[in-house]
């Protein structure tokens, strides 16, 4: 399917559902949602896109907007108008506006885009520093957000010419870009093509037996594949309604999700693992009771699935109709557009005892830290038309229950990343893509243990330790290059927390170390968007190096856990 | 009726327990990264227990808990007796 055929198909599906509400966008917890039928999307989305677009057909248009009706409509409108929208992460309201904008400017100068659409004040601040047009888009209820970007002008523009876009970079049938990681320097996006997206949505529809009578409620942001593909595109493609509200509103008002599921009879809910524990922990605060028995599937995705989180959720909400059979799991990634596996609905996901795993291959000792549980929870069998295998460091296919590198060969597999260097084709050998995830197959089921790459997953968000280390290294008092970032399990919320260890330059002084620790907290939060749970400024030579003289994140983490968090049982293996 | 001094003392103690050290009443807690977003409801719950009140969080923003000073104002403004 080419991009034009896809657009025609999308138009025809919107036309078929012209009188049906397909989108509900809740702008604040106490308000009524804005409702958009197929006809509303058909008329308003292209009109809005035409009003703001300043780039030629097939060009990349970055969208940097808060949760708003405009963000949803511009995403669809730009696609229908033949542009390639790419949604950038909107910062949390805890981020420092000035540092955020400087970091953003640095990123934007290196992206081969053709236009940015953002809030007026941000547009004013950024316009002089990038090589493409920056267009103002007014958004309802954004006055407070606009105020936060009131900084002294001009914003300091880095020296040197900004990167220029390279023509014809993306695949010909691309319809939008989906960012897959990188918070400071290494922004990269997957080019979502018409054929890949259609294959993913159809595969998911068959697997979940999803119909127009179903519905989705979500607080997941659209710059995340789970928010964009599973919660927005998938129901819309099937003619079913979806309701969206902001993650910020959900954090302080977790029961808002249940209120929406109940009121709009939504039947599917995708959540990262931590959200199951978080919701269960907040049960006592919830003021009302809800009817949730109609929810066909609560799908745990984007973090390794933990049995404990499932149990807490099921126990807390059983009185409202949540059953263990409705708790499901999926393994998904932007590189595959979304889902690779899915547990069968109506059955509890299988578990596999940790003690029954076959040996762990020696060469995987550098594996990033897996999430320890007594049992692993299955992410289910692969979807139709997809294949998964697990290989050892020699590239040999592993036996059943033997962990290794998870590889995919699917009809939804991307071909490369759109990066600061243009579109870079990913190395895919004989059709197999190495995910960098560590897991095993047992029977037909895939079990995901953790990451081979040093990625920290905090609340479903991927954090690259290199990004954090780069930011902390910019602090004067830190010994250059002697910074390590890693993840630490948070048992309460079933996710990871970010820890940073940095060596103080010169003679160690506890008072000075404490002041620098505060600086580390503030700087990481303001630039990366995630607050470190732990920031330890330590004397010189505290950080552990390997015998080859290279800093070891893994061994430094072990030392930190033993000496700072009093967990003597922790080992590196 | 809550006493402002009692609320401030409770806020100081709850914050100190959560982050493992005392901070100044005007020190930023959330934008400084000392308290992360997942912990705000825990902070509210601890305050509720300490003061035997209910703090309706649904219409509040993380900014309302940005410092001991802000927390004190917020609790005095919205807390209801249990």
Q: What is the pLDDT of residues A122-144, one digit of tens each?
A: 998 888 888 899 999 999 877 77
Q: Is the pLDDT of residue A279 over 90?
A: yes
pLDDT at residue A242 above 90? yes
The mean-pLDDT minimum among A313-327, A345-359, A376-390 falls in A345-359
In a domain, A289, yes or no: yes
Average pLDDT, chain A: 87
Kindly state whether residue A360 falls inside one of the protein's structural domains: no
Nearest C-alpha of chain A: how many angstroms from B46? Answer: 12
Range A197-210 average pLDDT:
97
- pLDDT tops 90 at residue A18: yes
Asked if residue A236 has pLDDT above 90, the reply is yes
CB atoms within 10 A of CB A539: 14
Out of A320, A354, A388, pick the residue that ends a domain. A320
H or E segment and range at residue A278: helix A273-281
pLDDT of residue A185: 47
Residue A111 in contact with residue A88, Cβ under 8 Å? no
Look at the alpha carbons of B50, B53, B56, B62 in this order and tell me if their dihedral is positive or negative: negative
Closest to A328 (Cα-Cα) out of A270, A414, A369, A386: A270
Please give, one letter per residue, the 3-state secondary structure of A208-253.
HCCCCCCCEEECCCCCCHHHHHHHHHHHHHCCCCEEECCHHHHHHC
Q: B59–A29: do the CB atoms touch at under 8 Å?
A: yes
Q: What is the CATH number of the domain that holds A97?
A: 3.40.50.12780
A438 part of a folded domain: no
Question: Contacts of residue B70 in chain A, CB cutoff 8 Å?
Answer: none
Continuous segment of H or E residues that includes residue A184: none
Task: With respect to residue A164, please indicate whether it lies within any of the assigned structural domains.
Answer: yes
Overall number of domains in chain B: 1
User: Which of B:1-30 have CB within 8 Å of A?
Assistant: 28, 30
DSSP class of A432: B
Are B62 and A251 within 8 A, CB to CB?
yes
Closest among A462, A453, A478 to A528, alpha carbons compared? A462
Give the distance from CA A120 to its chain's centroid. Answer: 26
Q: ipTM of this predicted complex? A: 0.77
- Cα–Cα dist A335/A428, whole Å: 12
Instruction: Say if residues A469 and A527 touch (Cβ distance below 8 Å).
Output: no
Mean pLDDT on A547-572 = 77
Handedness of CA A138, A139, A142, A145 (dihedral sign): negative
B-chain residue closest to A532, CA distance: B33
pLDDT of residue B39: 86
| Mean pLDDT to the nearest integer, A315-337 | 97
What total number of domains does chain A contain?
2
Q: Which of A265, A294, A320 is the last residue of a domain?
A: A320
CB contact under 8 A, B61 and A252: yes
CA angle (A312 as vertex; A306, A318 as ends), nearest 5: 130
Cα B47 from Cα B27, distance rounded (Å):
18
Task: List, for residues A72-121, the tens digit of each pLDDT value.
Answer: 999 999 999 999 999 998 876 656 677 778 778 877 887 888 999 999 98
Chain B residues near residue A526 by CB distance under 8 angstroms: 31
Under the banding of pLDDT at 50, 70 and 90, the label for residue A572 is very low
Q: List the single residue in B with minimal CA-CA distance to A30.
A: B59
pLDDT in the model for residue A364: 52
Mean pLDDT confidence for A239-254 = 93
Question: What's phi and psi for A545, nearest 5 deg?
Answer: -110, 155
Task: Round to whole Å and give the CA distance between A168 and A400.
Answer: 44
Taking contacts as CB-CB distances below 8 angstroms, the residues of chain B near A248 are 61-62
In 3D space, the residue among A148, A221, A64, A530 whose CA is nearest the CA of residue B63 turns out to be: A148
Which residue range forms the structural domain that includes residue A526? 456-563
What is the pLDDT at residue A464?
78
Whether A386 has a pLDDT exceeding 60, the answer reads yes
**Most confident residue range from A33-42, A182-191, A403-412, B2-11:** A33-42
Interface of A to B at Cβ within 8 Å reads 29-30, 92-96, 248, 251-256, 274, 278, 281-282, 284-285, 459, 493, 497, 518, 520-522, 524-526, 530-533, 535
Nearest to A459 among B30, B38, B45 (CB): B38
The pLDDT-based confidence of A232 (bands split at 50, 70, 90) is very high
From B75, B56, B63, B57, select the one nearest B6 (Cα to Cα): B75
Whether residue B36 and residue A274 make contact (CB cut-off 8 A), yes or no, is: no
The more confident residue out of A343 and A544 is: A343
**Nearest CA-CA partner of A159 in A112, A97, A105, A96:** A105
Coil, strand or helix at A436: strand
Question: Of the candidates A294, A320, A346, which is a domain's last residue?
Answer: A320
> Whose CA is closest to B42, among B31, B63, B57?
B57
Q: Report the distance separating Cα A65 and Cα A88, nearest Å.
A: 8
| For residue A199, pLDDT beyond 70 | yes
Q: What is the CATH number of the domain that holds B28?
A: 1.10.1200.10
Does residue A554 lie within any of the structural domains?
Answer: yes
Lowest mean pLDDT among A81-85, A201-205, A295-299, A357-361: A357-361
Instruction: Please give the average per-residue pLDDT across A388-414, as a whole number.
Output: 93
The verdict on residue A326 lying in a domain is no
B20 is in which domain, residue-wise?
4-81
Cβ-defined contact of A282 to B41 (cutoff 8 Å): yes
User: How many CA atoms does the CB half-sphere of A475 hold within 13 Å?
Assistant: 27
Q: Are B38 and A256 inside 8 Å of each other by CB?
A: no
Token output for A286: 């919830």
Cβ contacts (< 8 Å) between B58 and chain A: which residues?
A: 29-30, 252-253, 255-256
CB A68, CB A59: distance < 8 Å: no
Q: Which residue has the higher pLDDT, A499 or A569?
A: A499
Q: Answer whether residue A385 is part of any domain.
A: no
Query: How far is A253 from chain B, CA to nearest CA, in Å?
Result: 5
Which has more confidence, B81 or A437?
Answer: A437
Determine the Cα–Cα distance for residues A177 and A157; give it in Å rounded to an integer: 26
pLDDT in tens, A153-190: 556 666 666 555 454 567 889 999 998 754 444 568 89
> Where residue A476 sits, what CATH number does that domain have?
3.30.300.30
* pLDDT tens digit sequence for B32-73: 778 887 888 889 999 999 999 999 887 788 888 889 999 999
The pLDDT assigned to A161 comes to 62
Q: Residue B58 and residue A493: Cβ atoms within 8 Å?
A: no
Determine, yes or no, domain membership for A380: no
């Amino acid at each position: 399917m080419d991009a034009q055929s896809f657009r025609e198909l999308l138009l025809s599906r919107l036309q078929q559902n012209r009188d049906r509400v397909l989108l509900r966008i809740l702008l604040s917890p106490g308000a009524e949602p804005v409702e958009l039928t197929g006809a509303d999307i058909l008329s308003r989305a292209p009109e809005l896109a035409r009003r703001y677009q300043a780039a030629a057909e097939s060009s990349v248009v970055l969208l940097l907007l808060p949760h708003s009706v405009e963000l949803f409509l511009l995403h669809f409108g730009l696609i229908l108008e033949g542009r390639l929208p790419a949604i950038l992460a909107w910062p949390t309201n805890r981020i420092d506006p000035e540092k955020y904008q400087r970091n953003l400017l640095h990123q934007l100068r290196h992206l081969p885009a053709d236009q940015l659409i953002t809030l007026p004040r941000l547009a004013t601040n950024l316009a002089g520093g990038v090589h493409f047009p920056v267009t103002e888009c007014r958004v309802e209820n954004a006055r407070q957000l606009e105020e936060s970007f009131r900084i002294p002008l001009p914003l300091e523009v880095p020296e040197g010419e900004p990167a220029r876009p390279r023509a014809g970079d993306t695949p010909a049938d691309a319809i939008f870009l989906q960012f897959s990681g990188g918070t400071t320097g290494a922004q990269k996006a997957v080019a979502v093509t018409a054929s890949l997206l259609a294959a993913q949505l159809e595969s998911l529809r068959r697997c979940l037996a999803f119909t127009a009578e179903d519905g989705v409620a979500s607080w997941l942001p659209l710059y995340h594949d789970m928010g964009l593909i599973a919660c927005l595109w998938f129901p819309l493609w099937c003619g079913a309604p979806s309701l969206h509200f902001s993650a910020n509103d959900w954090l302080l008002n977790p029961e808002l999700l249940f209120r929406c599921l109940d009121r709009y009879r939504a039947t599917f809910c995708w959540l990262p693992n931590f959200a199951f524990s978080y919701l269960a922990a907040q049960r006592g605060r919830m003021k009302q009771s809800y009817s949730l028995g109609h929810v066909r599937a609560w799908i745990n995705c984007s973090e390794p699935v933990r049995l404990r989180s499932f149990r807490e959720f099921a126990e807390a909400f059983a009185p409202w109709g949540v059953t263990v059979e409705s708790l499901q799991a999926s393994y998904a990634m932007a590189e595959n557009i979304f889902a690779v596996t899915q547990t069968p609905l109506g059955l509890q996901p299988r578990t596999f005892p940790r003690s029954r795993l076959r040996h762990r291959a020696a060469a995987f000792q550098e594996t990033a830290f897996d999430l320890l549980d007594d049992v692993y929870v299955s992410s289910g069998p692969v979807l139709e038309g997809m294949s998964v295998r697990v290989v050892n460091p020699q590239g040999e296919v592993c036996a059943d229950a033997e962990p290794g590198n998870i590889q995919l060969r699917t009809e939804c597999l991307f071909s490369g990343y759109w990066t600061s260097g243009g579109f870079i084709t990913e190395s895919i050998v004989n059709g197999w893509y190495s995910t960098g995830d560590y897991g095993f197959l047992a029977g037909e089921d895939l079990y995901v243990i953790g990451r081979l790459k040093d990625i920290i997953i905090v609340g479903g968000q991927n954090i690259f330790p290199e990004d954090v280390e780069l930011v902390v290294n910019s602090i004067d008092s830190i010994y250059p290059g002697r910074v390590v970032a890693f993840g630490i399990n948070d048992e309460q919320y079933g996710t990871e927390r970010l820890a940073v260890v940095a060596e103080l330059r010169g003679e160690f002084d506890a008072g000075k170390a404490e002041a620098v620790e505060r600086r580390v907290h503030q700087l990481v939060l303001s630039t990366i968007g995630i607050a470190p749970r732990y920031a330890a400024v330590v004397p010189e030579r505290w950080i552990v190096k390997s015998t080859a003289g290279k800093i070891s994140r893994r061994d430094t983490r072990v030392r930190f856990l033993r000496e700072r968090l009093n967990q003597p049982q922790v080992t590196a293996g | 009726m809550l006493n402002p001094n009692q609320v401030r003392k409770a806020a100081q103690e709850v914050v100190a327990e959560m982050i493992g050290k005392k901070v100044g009443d005007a020190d930023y807690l959330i934008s400084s990264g000392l308290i992360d977003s997942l912990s705000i409801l825990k902070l509210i719950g601890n305050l509720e227990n300490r003061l035997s009140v209910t703090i309706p969080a649904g219409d509040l923003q993380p900014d309302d808990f940005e410092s001991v000073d802000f927390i004190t104002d917020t609790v005095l403004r919205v807390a209801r007796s249990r």
